[in-house]
Amino acid sequence: MSLSLKHIFIRLFISISIFVFTIYLTPNFYVSNLYILFISAFFVILIDYIISLITGIHDYPIGRGLVGFCSAVVIIYATQFFISGYSISLISSLIAASIYSITDYLLENERME
């Protein structure tokens, strides 16, 4: 899976939007400032991309569905251990991952050959 620059910006915008939406709707999701929000969104995209490269998870419909959701939960929850100023509960990461997975599924899988 290769990402074009356009696709990266779209995913970054979606990740930031999901985080902002989830921060306001869930009580256990905290991001200290806008800078941390951008870093955490980019971190989620980067880790998701690396997992996709290693496992090929997004190459199959089931990978973009259930498996993609499970990996998004783990990535969004684990981000708090790598980025200071970002904390999230497991329930909040489930909510964010469900929104993230749905939007990721709806995005076309752009390939560069």
pLDDT tens, position by position, 23-79: 787 778 888 888 888 888 888 778 777 877 787 766 666 656 677 788 778 888 888
Number of alpha carbons in the 13 Å side-chain half-sphere of residue 93? 19
CB 36 within 8 Å of CB 83? yes
- Report pTM: 0.70
Q: What was the pLDDT predicted at 113?
A: 37
Confidence band (pLDDT; 50, 70, 90) for 81? very high
pLDDT of 6 higher than 70: yes
